Structures are given as structure tokens and as C-alpha cells.
Amino acid sequence: MSKVRRATMSDVAREVGVTAKTVSRVVNGENSVSAETRARVLAAMEKLGFQPNLMARNMRVGARDSTVGLIIPDMGNPFFGTVAGGIEAAMRPRGLTLIVGSSEETAEGERSLTSTFLARRVTALLVVPAADSDHHSLRAERGTGLPIVFLDRPPSGLTTDCVVSANREGARTGVAHLIAHGHRRIAFIGDLPTLYTRRERFQGYRDALAEAGIPFDRRLVETGHDEKAAAAAVARLLAAKDPATAVFAANNFAATGVVLGLARLRRQEVALVGFDDLPLAEVLEPALTVVAQDPEAIGKAAAELLMARLDGDRSRARTVEIPTRLIVRGSGELPPG
């Protein structure tokens, strides 16, 4: 794919008929340029799609901090907060500054934030994509050499670096753990089916059932996008004629909702394995068995990929998979009631 060249100060200068130094003075907000010339330069910048490169400017004036934009779906999800912490810790020694915005899990919100960050001429872009988002529009930026790394979920319509958890294998391990303790009626409560993580974890659930020779029963599959929905889902599952004896909750919100639902129903005998660890999981009764991701490692790996690209790495795009681990605490070891 041929690279799309960004407009430069020299392009703007030629368009207006001034020197590149004059354009630079306008960009830097200096007062030595007449109002008329400033207006012509700004008009040419808009016409050519030129945006000042703050990274290059920082380097020229000796500043150490350059900005990296991070887009996440939900500011309230502690998982993404820990991811951001891992990124920031890895980038801080390089003098890179992280700015974070939430797409609120919408493609429109993600597009808006992407435009905002690109207008600021961020040094690099990190994205946890929203459901149903499309990333064809970033091909031009990727072609100019802007480092772009996706986290937790891969991009759509764009080939670039990506860091994900071992979702499918982690889910398979968690469900196999329930099977090993005698369960055959195992429910799956997960996120929206359009999400990559949900699809991968659901496939891991199917893998574990198939390996054990347990027929798949679609009646045991529910959507629990948030705590309230997950609590309602587990109530429906347990009220069925042939109820589940165990639940695999495929994200942290679903696991929290299932814990709440089981407590309200006084059904602590139902086995539960969650995907993602939860605060205070150890003090629940019984304590919660989980397939734990490593969000800090996800953030660190994404930052390392990004910094390698900034250092000139032009190798092919690659995907890094961060392992999960099963933490046995009690809820996943309950036998069928």
C-alpha cells in the first residue's frame, strides 16, 4: 500500500507564497506575523489538511513530554483503569504523556475521540475498539507512520499491532474446571454477541463442552452486559425446568451480577467461575474462582509495541497474546446440587 503523505509546513508556505518560517511562527502563536498573513496561513492549513506536529515541535524546543492518546470504552470499568496504569508506567521513563478518553462503547464516540486526538497530532494512538466500530479511516494515518496499537480487541478493516488476552483458552480452562467438578448443566452469561471478547470466550465455552462430550444447549446461554442484566439472567436460568448447576460468567460485570443474583435467590450452592478477577473476590462466601486476565501486562505490552515503532521498528504488524490464569478459591469447586 502506498503511503499517503501528510501536508507539511513547506506545502502551506507554497500555497500562501510565504516562507516556512512564517508558517512556523503562525503555528507557534508568535506575534511577529500580520493579521492578514496569519489569516491566509490558517486558511491554507485548513485547505491542505495540515495539522502541526506537536511531537516535532517538542523535540525542537527540547521538551521531553510527547502525548499518546488512549481510547477506552468505559471509564468506570476498573479493568481499563489498570490497563492505562500499565501503559503509563511503561511510557513514563520515555517522557511520554498519556491522555485518556472514553468512547462510551459506541462507534460514534470512538470516531469523535480519534478525530480529536489526531487533530492534536498525538505521537501515537492506543485504542480499545467499541463494538461495531470500523477502522478503515485510520489507514491513511497508519500509512504516514503514526504508531497505532489496539488493545483487548482487534481492529476492523485495519492491519496494525494488537494486544489481547488469551480469551478462548482462558474460557475453555474455566469451563473445564467446572466440568471436572461434576457439572454438566453449565450456563454461559456474557457480553453483547458483537464483541470480540465475548465471541472468543463463548467459543472457549463451546470447546470445553465438546472436549467433554457434553451437548451444547442454547437455553443455557444468556446475555448479561451489565450487573442488572446478569442478575436477571441467572434468575431465569435457575427458574427453568432443567436449571443450570453452574455458571460461567464471561466478564467482570457479568460475574458481579451473578454473585448478586445468587445472593438474592439464596442459591450459594450454584457453582460459579468468572472471567476477570473482582475486588473483594476472596471475601465472598464462597470465595470467587476466576480466570484472571493481566490488564497491567496488556498495557505494558501495548506501550512496548508503541515505543518500538517510535524507535523506528518497521516490521510487519503483530498480535501479542497475554496469558490468563485460573485462580481457585471455592465457588468453582462446588459439586452439582
Cis bond leading into 52, ω under 30°? no
Q: Which residues of 171-180 are buried (b: 16+ CB within 10 A; e: fewer)?
A: bbbbbbbbbe
What is the predicted pLDDT for the residue at 141? 87
* Residue 251: domain span: 167-294+326-333
For range 22-42, the mean pLDDT: 80
Q: Are residue 136 and residue 36 in the same domain, yes or no? A: no
What is the predicted pLDDT for the residue at 29? 63
What is the predicted pLDDT for the residue at 1? 44
3-state helix, strand, coil in the chain (%, to 5): 45, 15, 35
What is the predicted pLDDT for the residue at 119? 83
Alpha helices in 62-149 (DSSP H): 78-91, 107-119, 139-143
Q: Are residue 259 and residue 229 in the same domain, yes or no? A: yes
Q: Are residue 100 and residue 154 in the same domain, yes or no? A: yes
Measured CA to CA, the distance from residue 96 to residue 69 in angstroms comes to: 10
What is the predicted pLDDT for the residue at 130? 93
Residue 232 reports pLDDT greater than 90: yes
Q: Are residue 137 and residue 69 in the same domain, yes or no? A: yes
Is there a domain that residue 254 lies in? yes
The number of CA neighbours under 13 Å toward the Cβ of 219 is 11
Q: Are residue 198 and residue 266 in the same domain, yes or no? A: yes
CATH classification at residue 34: 1.10.260.40
pLDDT tens-digit map of 140-193: 888 888 999 999 999 999 999 999 999 999 999 999 999 999 999 999 999 989
Measured CA to CA, the distance from residue 23 to residue 192 in angstroms comes to: 49
pLDDT tens-digit map of 100-149: 999 999 999 999 999 999 888 899 999 999 988 999 989 988 888 899 99
Is there a domain that residue 192 lies in? yes
* Contact indicator for 211, 299 with CB cutoff of 8 Å: no
What is the predicted pLDDT for the residue at 132? 87
Domain count, the chain: 3
What is the predicted pLDDT for the residue at 221? 98
pLDDT tens-digit map of 60-86: 443 334 899 999 999 999 999 999 999
Q: Are residue 313 and residue 282 in the same domain, yes or no? A: no
Measured CA to CA, the distance from residue 60 to residue 74 in angstroms comes to: 36
Average pLDDT, the chain: 91
Residue 206 reports pLDDT greater than 60: yes
Q: Are residue 176 and residue 284 in the same domain, yes or no? A: yes
Q: Which residue has the higher pLDDT, 10 or 303?
A: 303
pLDDT tens-digit map of 248-258: 999 999 999 99
Q: Are residue 230 and residue 115 in the same domain, yes or no? A: no
pLDDT tens-digit map of 41-66: 888 888 888 766 544 554 444 333 48
Q: Work out whether strand 289-292 and strand 325-327 pair parallel, antiparallel, or are unpaired.
A: antiparallel
pTM of the model: 0.79
Residue 3 reports pLDDT greater than 80: no
Q: Are residue 183 and residue 289 in the same domain, yes or no? A: yes
Q: Work out whether strand 148-151 and strand 96-102 pair parallel, antiparallel, or are unpaired.
A: unpaired
